[in-house]
Structure 1
Amino acid sequence: MASQKETFMAKWTEPLTNELVSLLVAEVKKGNHTTCTYNKTGWNNIHTKFNKRTGLHFSIVQLKNKVNKLKRHYGSFKKLLSQSGFGWDNVNNTVAVTDQSVWETHIKNNSEWAKFKNDGFPQYLDLCIELDENPIDDGAFTPNVTITLDRQKRKLDRTPNSKRRRKSNTYDVSNACKAIHKMIKFKTRAVVAILNGMPNLEQDLYNKAVNQSCLNATWREAFIISLPDRRRGLLESL
């Protein structure tokens, strides 16, 4: 039994934060998340499973405080990604920039963004699910894609440079995200089509594969390009 002092002091490490976020996402999928927060069942599940998996004795209040802090970081990080010259690095789960010099100006205007330059925000995509933001998955938004789309836009835009420069300052990455999200949906459907064509596939493996396909871009790609006789092994490793 933890002492009152041990229970009160919550020290959050990266693995503990990731564990909490995974439980948040799980409760969203179960339907235990309302417009603003989780219902009583959701919080009880998160509280019980978190302490059981970690061997700690955090209170629900401590977990809620951490979630509120993550939400604030999420809002700040999302705003950063909307700035001109910034994108999402799907490999390192961090911010990617077309030119490192853009950091200096933006950090001066918002000191909170400084932590994202070094640490990124690994939980960003999972929190998209928790906050019902239609996430683009962990292989979706890369700086190369953003640059390519921006260049294509300029090729089609024949307005004078001065006017086009003003437009670029307000360029919204949401259109790029939407286009890539459609591509991800298509690839997920491809995985499901392959699964449907596999004879005698157990329902449990089918469910795990569909879930993994939605959450993990790397696994999804590997499954699609694997030889037919190798796919069963990938499924059994889940």
Structure 2
Amino acid sequence: MNHNHANWDEGTTKTLLDLCIAQKNQFNWSNRCLSKLGWKNVYRSFNQQTGLHLGSKQLQNKLNALRRTFLSWTALQNQSSLGHDTQTGGVAADPTYWEDDEADTSDGAAPPRSQPSSVKAPPFLEELYELYGHDPQDRGTLLTT
């Protein structure tokens, strides 16, 4: 296994996401991640297209990091009392939301949320929605007669 340092610029990240989306569209997807066959196809295609020869763990770690960022952002989008800033694509919240959160965690139970890192929309939002944006129950309306 070749252990090159992963340089995740926009191009390599986009390539990884596009390959994962292609595998999902070919039904090489199980619940919320690629199947073994899907990963095998992504590894081979990614290394051929980029010439980087990154290890499978490096690709999996990058995709998992993107997924965590996306899910955190969507959780903030769906939280009550928070809105969507159409200009930035981020979360719009009254400054008192962040202050209230700090007061709620003053007992040392958990650290307060960090406003700047949590509010900005993640890069490649469209691709991440395609991979992770729909719940399994979001498959349309079942019609019966």
* TM-score normalised per structure 1: 0.45
- TM-aligned CA distance change 1:96 to 1:75, over 3 Å: closer
Cα distance between partner residues in 2 of 1:106 and 1:60 = 42
Partners of 1:123 and 1:39 lie apart in 2 by 22
Equivalents in 2 of 1:9, 1:88: separation in Å? Answer: 36
C-alpha displacement of 1:95? 0.6
How far off is 1:132 after superposition?
Answer: 5.7
Which structure is larger by alpha-carbon Rg, 1 or 2? 1
Runs (4 or more) in structure 1 with deviation over 4 Å come to none
AA matched with 1:24: C
**1:56 paired to 2:52:** yes
Deviations 1:212-237 (A, max 9, x none): xxxxxxxxxxxxxxxxxxxxxxxxxx
Mapped partners of 2:71, 2:77: distance in 1 = 10
Aligned residue pairs: how many?
127
Correspondence for 2:116? 114
Alpha-carbon distance, 1:126 to partner? 2.0
Does structure 2 conserve the Cα–Cα contact (< 8 Å) formed by 1:32 and 1:41? yes
Indicate which of 87, 91, 96 corresponds to 2:84: 87
Question: Could you tell me how far apart the structure 2 residues matched to 1:88 and 1:49 are?
Answer: 37
Residue 76 of structure 1 and its aligned partner are, at CA, apart by: 0.8
Alignment partners' CA distance in 1, 2:128 and 2:76 = 16
SS of 1:52's equivalent in the other structure is helix
Specify the alignment match of 1:97 in structure 2: 92
With normalisation by structure 2, the TM-score equals 0.69
Report the AA paired with residue 131 of structure 1. Answer: Y
**Equivalent-residue separation in structure 2 for 1:54 and 1:88 (angstroms):** 35
Alignment of 1:42 with 2:43, yes or no, is no
Q: Unaligned regions of 5+ residues in structure 1, if any?
A: 135-177, 183-238
Show the counterpart of 1:124: 125
Tell me by how many angstroms 1:80 deviates: 1.1
Residue type at the aligned position of 2:16: L
Deviations 1:80-118 (Å, cap 9, x if unpaired)?
1123232163x76x315275x36754885312x52244x
Give CA deviations for 1:166-213 in whole Å, capped at 9, x if unaligned.
xxxxxxxxxxxx9xxx9xxxxxxxxxxxxxxxxxxxxxxxxxxxxxxx
**Does the 8 Å CA contact 1:28/1:129 hold for their aligned counterparts?**
no
Displacement of 1:129:
2.5
2:27 corresponding residue in structure 1: 31
Structure number having the greater helix percentage: 1
User: Aligned in 2, Cα 1:96/1:39: closer, same or farther, shift over 3 Å?
Assistant: closer
The residue type paired with residue 46 of structure 1 is V
